[in-house]
Structures are given as structure tokens and as C-alpha cells.
Structure 1
Amino acid sequence: MRVWRQATGILKDKNSIWNAKFSRKGPWRNPDLETVIIKATSHDENRIDCKNVQRVFKWLRTSPLYFKPLVWALSIRMQKTKSWVVALKGLMLIHGVFCIGIPMVQKMGRLPFDLSNFNDSYLNPSKAWGVNSFVRSYFAYLDQRSAFVSFEVKNLRKNNNNNKGVEVEETLMEELEKLQKLQTMIDMLLQIKPKHMNMSVGLVLEAMDCVIVEVFDVYSKFCNKIAGVLMRIYDVGGKTEACVGLRVLQKAIVQGDELASYIEYCRDIGVLNASQCPKIERISEEDIQDLERIISGAYYAKKKNMKGVNDGVENEKNQDKAIEARDYLHHKESSENGLITVVTHQWEVFFDETFVDDDVKENNVINGKKGNNVTTTNPFEESYSLVPYCHVHVNQVLPDLISL
């Protein structure tokens, strides 16, 4: 059955490539780019075509005019597919496109395709539920991530236009709301994991490598932001802000435990990036107590009484508290194994460079006997093929990239 499924997948890919090559080139169609996308999202569950994945990235870096054909071709392929392999490769591809950091991609908004109800038509339902859940969870996060980034970009632009380019500081409540959104994204990320013991295959593990990097990227942003928010609450925050901040910290304690369990689970199933994860620091009990005192009013009463008695000592304590809040979960001392909690810029899964075992690099195999020797944290292999430059005219108006 598996051999028949693989043979059928190969025929479908060849037929799709044939149709793409003879399609008419236009604003929304680029036969050469469509061919590369089809190869990058093939039905072969044993390997990732890293060469063509990198070619997609090169097309996009060459000119922003290639973004529209990329979105069109990938959306059509994702909407038509009933294969979990093609769907997962497509999600990994769009995830990599996000990580390139092109402004046009950051303005995309919601994903232009929907896999929220995805079902694989080739597997037995008793075996397909695991991969179906994995694809749906991965899609749900990427869709939310794209919408969140797009909202932040639009909001920043709106503030700059209203204030003639002068940077406007967010209110304390706006920062707290953003922290809650980041926590929601962390919850969605923690739902992306193999839920069936037979899912520990090369393609799934490569996707989990990307997810692990994303987990620590989002969690690091949360930790960096909460430090500044705590300082603002201590300085100017009222009871309302302190109540919201307390709920955020209480949820952060729970998420820290869940994140530690998630990383341990990923290590057990063989996710490479999970083995390099540093220790997760916990929320300090003192921060919780300080916010509780602010809510009860005791914090400011204590500050008022101490101000007249020993103003210099109190200021020093407040300064220490601010420094502690700023450095909290960000600049902790090194643990016994020498690792620290600053993890955001350590790994970039979708970066051009990759380090793969020679046998794997030669045969381009992820799963199987040779695939088990993968030593890379980058699922995409660099490709040096040339991409035709598509010139962007200065006065050219680009159409809406989302309304397909």
C-alpha cells in the first residue's frame, strides 16, 4: 500500500509540473517558480528537497514581484492537496518565507489558504488522526502568527503617520495586551507535537526543529518584554495594570512548566534542536508578591512611609528592583552546564547556511537508515542556482497580494 501511495504521489507531482510548465505567464503566474514550488512540496515523505526550497527563497529575495506568484501557486497547491506530506511541506515553506523578513511578507495578514479542517485521504483514519492534528495545529499557529505580525506592522505605520514619524511609546495596558497575545501564541505552539508513536519520521522531526526554534523565539520576546512591563508597573502602574500583570505572571508560571515538559518530550522523540535548549527559568515569587502588594495598596503605602525616613535607601532598593525586573528571565547567571537563557539569536532554522552529514547531503535523505544520521539544525540546504531578476519600477503600483 505504501509503495502504491508513493508511486501515485510521484505521478501526481510530474503531472503538476507538466501543467505548470505549459501555463501562461502573467502577473499571478510564473511557470518556472511554480515548478520549483511543486518540487519543494513533493509527495515524497522520506526527504525534503532542500535545493528547491532554497530556490524559492532566492526567487523571493531577488524581487518582491515574485511574492504574488509564490502566494498564488502555494495556495492552489495547499487547497487541492489531500496528502499530509504535501501539506506539511507547504507549511514549512511558508514558515521559512516568514523568517526571511521581507516587508511585503510581514504585511500579508492571514494565510491565503485554509488547512484548519485538513484530512489525509490516503491513510487509514486510525493512523491519519495524528498527522491531521499535527498539520491543523501547525497551520493554526502560522495563521495566527502572520495575522499578529501584520497587525503590529500596520499599527506601527499608523502611529508614525499620525505623529509625523515621531516614535510613540505604547501605553502600559497596550504592552500588557501584547504580552497576553504572545502567551496565546505560545499556547498554540505547544499544541504542535506528534501525538502518535508512529509519527517520529524524518519529515515530522524536521518540522519540529522549526517549531522548537519558533517556541524559543516567541518565549524570548515575551521574557524581554515582561521585564520592561514590570518596571513600568512598579513605577507608574495602578491596581488595574497590576491585576492584569499578575494574571500574566501566573500564566507564565504555568507555561514555564509546560514548556519544560514540551522540550523534554521533543528530546525523547529525537528533535535535534531540543537537545540544545537551555534551562527554562521560572518566574520569581518576589515579583508575584510585589504585584499582590500593589493591588492591595500596601506597596505604595510602604513607599510613602519609607520616603521620609530613609529616602536614599529606598531609592536604591527601587533601583535594584527595576534592575532585577529588567534582567528577570533574560540575563540570569550561567547554569551549571554553562548555558544561559538568552536564546533568540542562537539558531535560525531557515538561514541559508546548513550543516548536514555527508551521507545525507549526498543522497538528500531525511528518513531511513541514512536519514537518522542528520546532524543539522537547518532543514533546508543551500542552493546556488541563479534566479532571473524581476525589476521593480519606481512608479509601479502593486495590487492586493491577499485577495486571491
Structure 2
Amino acid sequence: MRLWVKASGALKDTYSIWVAKLSPSGPCRNPDLEIAIIKATSHNEPCMDYKNVQRVFKWLRTSPLYLKPLLYTVSMRMEKTRSWVVALKGLMLTHGVFCFDYPAMKKMGRLPFDLSHFSDVHVNPNKAWLFNAFVRSYFAYLDQKSAFVRLEATKETKRGSKEKEEAVMEELQDLEKFLGLIDLLLQIKPSNPNMNVVLILEVMDCVMDEVLEVYDKFSMRVHRVVSRIIDMGGKEEARVGLDFVRKVELQGGKISMYFDFCRDIGVINVSECPEIVRIDEKDIHELISIRDGGVSEKKNLKFDNNNNYNDNNTIVVYEGNNSRAITTISDFKTVITDQWEVFDDVMDSASNGTSLHIATSTNPFVDSLSIVHYIPVCNTHILPDLIVL
């Protein structure tokens, strides 16, 4: 039975190649490119035909115009196949196309084929469901990634050259989708030791590279949005941010377990586990303070137990008995008191030469005491009548 499956697969590939040779060229058809794609996604189980994969990518590097016939051919082959081998090879080829970062690829949206209900008809049903689940999980991630890439590209286009910064709540929503995308990526794994064949391990090598790349981008965006929330100090943003941080920490544990699992099953391309996103306890406390109605410590002065500000580069505020002072690092001091200081002074009287003490008062604007002795002016000179003059 096993020999018959291999022979049947080889006949199907040969027939598809002959059909491609006889097909006319057009906007969506390129016979030479189709032949390379058929060979790259053959029914031969041992491993991916990387020689023909490189031929396909060479066509794509030549011009982005080959993207359309490439996706057309891959889509037609994926829709017709009932072999998990062909399906996985087609998905790996599609995964590689994302690396070219062409604008047309960013605008594609969902994948042009559907393997969400894929079912292999050539393997024993008792084993087929394991491979079917693996194919579906790989397709689900690539399909959602394609949609996510389009969403990000659309937002960049709308912002245009103005480079407007995205609102915090919008960025949190995008990161929630990013979080879900990583969860889909972590679901791509063989669920049975009997699945540890060469082709499955090759897929896992691609997945390892994807986890490292995607999680690195995700980590940078998480730290950036947390800093933005603390700087702006919004209560609702802080509440949503705290919920999101908890999800991120839970996902960090999943990633560590995922790398341990891949290392155990013998995936070659398992490097060190990426640095898990860790939010500082100080930042978490600030988010909690903002959520509960407080103000971010970045926007507020910080005092110690003696009400002294701890930063030596900023003004220090302290209170004493009935006085309040503000001191800078240059040791200059301005004192503002609640009591009026009164000084004794001697002033010679213009009339009799006697000395007068200045009257004391706690508040000169309340008491009606005269500070300076009043001397009436005696002047008998009669002013002329200016009107008559």
C-alpha cells in the first residue's frame, strides 16, 4: 500500500508537469514557473526540494510581476491536493514569499486558498488526523498573518507622510491582535512522536525562525506602549494596559515551554529561547496607581519621609515651623514665612528731634497703627486765585 501511494503521487506530479508545459502563457500563467512550483511541492515525502524552491524565489527576485502567477499556481495546487505532504510544502513555499516584503503581498489580505478543513485521504485515518491538525494549524497562522500584514500596511498608508502617532488605545488593540497571532504560531507543533519525520521537522525550523522574529517585534512594541500609558496617565488606558501586561506574562511562559518542547523532539534550529517580555515592577505599580486615580510618578515630585525630594538635580521642598522653603542644588534659599518680621529703628522727629519707635504689628494690613509719626504741616501762605489770574 505504501508503494502504491508513492507511485500514485509520482504519476500525479508527472501529469501536472505535462499540463503546465502545454498551458499557454498569460498574466496568471507561466509554464516554467509552474513546473518549478510543482517540483518544489511534489508528493515525495522525505524533504522539501530546496533546489526548486530557490528557482521559484529566483523568479520572484527577478520581478514582482511573477508574484501573481506564483500565487495562482500555488492556490490551484493547494485546493486540489489531498496529501498532507503537498499541503505542507505549499505552505512552506507561501511562508517564504512573505520574506520578499512586496507591496502587493502586503495588500493581499487573507490567503487565496483555504486549508482550514484539510483532510488527507492517503494515510490511515487513525494517523491522518494528526497530520491534518498540523496542516490546519500552519495554515491558520499564515492566513491570519497575511490579514494582519494588510491591516498594518493600511494604517501606515492612511497616516502617510504626516507620521501621526497612533492613539494608545488603538495600539493596545493592535497588540491584542498581535498577541493572538503569536498564540496561533505556538499551536504549530506535532502532537505525536510518530510525526517526527523530516518534513515536519523542516516546518518546525521555519516556525522557530518565525517565533524569534515576530516575538522580537512584539517585545519592542509592548515596552513602548507601556511607557506611553505612564507618560499620558489615562485611567482607562492604564486599566486596559494592566490586563494586557498580564496576558503578555502568561504568554511568556508558553513560549518557554514551546522552545523546550521543540528541543525535546529534535528540532535542529532551536537556539536560545528569546528574551521573554518582562515589565518592571515599578512600571506596574505606576499603572496601578494611575488606574486607581493617582498620578504617574514621572509627572509628580517624589518625597522621602522628611518631605525632601530625592533628586539632587531638582528643587527640594521642605517645611519647618511656620515657614516653607524651596532650595536648589546651588544652596540658594528663598524663605516664605507666615509671620511678619518687625525691626526696631530710630527715626528723628522733624519737629522736636525726639526718637520714635516704629510700632509693631503681626499684620500691617489689619491694624491701623501709624508706622511713621504724623506731623501736621502748618502753612499760612494763601494761594492766589488761579481762575482770576
User: Structure 2 length normalisation: TM-score?
Assistant: 0.76
Distance 1:115 1:149 in 2: 19
Superimposed CA distance per residue, residues 92-147 of structure 1 (whole angstroms, 9 cap, x where no aligned partner): 00000001222221221110000000000111111011110111011011001011
Deviations 1:313-344 (A, max 9, x none): 2988xxxxxxxxxxxxxxxxxxxxxxxxxxxx
Gaps of 5+ in 1: 317-404
Alpha-carbon distance in 2 for matches of 1:26, 1:170: 42
Once the two structures are TM-superposed, the CA of residue 310 in structure 1 deviates from its matched residue by: 5.3
Per-residue deviation, residues 178-217 of structure 1 (Å, max 9, x unmatched): 2111111111011110012211111001101111111121
Partner of residue 223 from structure 2, selected from 224, 227, 234: 227
Query: What letter matches 1:248 in structure 2?
Result: F
Asked whether the equivalents of residues 219 and 277 of structure 2 are also in contact (C-alpha less than 8 Å), the reply is no
Q: Say if 1:137 and 1:314 are closer, same or farther in 2 by CA, change over 3 A.
A: farther
- Contact 1:13/1:43 (<8 A) preserved: yes
- CA distance in 2 between counterparts of 1:301 and 1:32 reads 64
Name the residue aligned to 2:311: 313
1:265 partner letter: F
2:172 partner letter: L
Q: How does 1:177-192 map to 2 (within 5 A)?
A: 177-192=173-188
CA distance in 2, matches of 1:284, 1:89: 42
Q: 3-state DSSP class of the match of 2:162?
A: coil
Rate the CA distance shift 1:301–1:221 in 2: closer, same or farther, 3 A. closer
2:29 counterpart of 1:33 = no
Match of 1:11 in 2: 11
Query: Highest relative contact order (Cα 8 Å, sep 6+), 1 or 2?
Result: 1
C-alpha contact 2:25 2:31 (8 A) present in aligned 1:
yes
Residue 125 of structure 1 corresponds to which residue in structure 2? 125
**What is the Cα-based RMSD across aligned positions, in Å?**
2.1
Q: Which residue in 2 is equivalent to 1:257? A: 253
- Separation in 2, partners of 1:278, 1:231: 22
Contact 1:116 1:140 in 2 (8 A): yes
Q: Deviations over 1:335-354 (max 9, x none)?
A: xxxxxxxxxxxxxxxxxxxx
**Contact preservation (8 Å) 1:306, 1:314:** no
Flag structure 2 segments of 5+ consecutive residues without an equivalent: 315-389
Distance in 2 (CA, whole Å) between partners of 1:304 and 1:22 is: 75
Inter-partner Cα distance in structure 2 for 1:167 and 1:151: 17
Q: How does 1:60-209 map to 2 (within 5 A)?
A: 60-160=60-160, 165-209=161-205
Decide whether the 8 Å contact of 1:82 with 1:119 is kept in 2: yes
1:268 to 264, 268, 272: 264
Find runs of 4+ consecutive structure 1 residues off by over 3 angstroms: 275-287, 298-312
The whole-number CA distance in structure 1 between the counterparts of 2:231 and 2:308 is: 18
Assess, with a 3 A threshold, how the Cα gap between structure 1 residues 315 and 272 changes in structure 2: closer, same or farther: farther
Q: Is the 2:39–2:52 Cα contact (8 Å) retained in structure 1?
A: yes
Matches within 5 A, 1:358-369: none
The equivalent of 1:215 in structure 2 is 211
Q: Any idea what the Cα deviations from partners look like across 1:376-403, whole Å, max 9, x if unmatched? A: xxxxxxxxxxxxxxxxxxxxxxxxxxxx
Length-normalised TM-score, structure 1? 0.73
- Asked if the contact 1:28/1:72 (under 8 Å) is kept, the reply is yes
Structure having the higher helix fraction is 1
Q: Distance in 1 between matches of 2:273 and 2:297?
A: 42
Whole-Å Cα distance in 2 between the matches of residues 269 and 180 of structure 1?
30
Shift of 1:290: 2.5
Q: Considering fraction of residues, name the structure with more strand.
A: 2
Q: Distance in 1 between matches of 2:122 and 2:187?
A: 24
Matched, 1:59 2:59: yes
Cα pair 1:242 1:295 within 8 Å, conserved = yes
**Deviations 1:137-171 (CA, angstroms, capped at 9, x unpaired):** 110110010111111112211221xxxx2211111
Are residues 314 and 71 of structure 1, via their aligned partners in 2, closer, same or farther at CA, if it must alter by over 3 Å? farther
Report if aligned partners of 1:95, 1:142 keep a CA contact under 8 Å in 2: yes
Relative distance call for 1:315 and 1:225 in structure 2 (3 A) is farther
Letter in 1 for 2:162: V
Contact 2:29 2:69 in 1 (8 A): yes
Shifted more, 85-94 versus 294-303: the winner is 294-303
Q: 2:333 aligns to what? A: none
Q: Would you say the 8 A contact 1:252–1:283 is kept in 2?
A: no
Find the aligned partners of 1:112 and 1:31 in 2 and give their Cα distance: 20
Residue aligned with 1:274, SS? coil
Question: 1:230-275: CA deviations, max 9, x gaps?
Answer: 1111110311111111111100111011110000000000112224
Instruction: Compare 280-289 and 6-15 and name the one that shifted more.
Output: 280-289
Aligned residue in 2 for 1:2: 2
Write the distance in 2 (CA, Å) between the matches of 1:275 and 1:18. 43
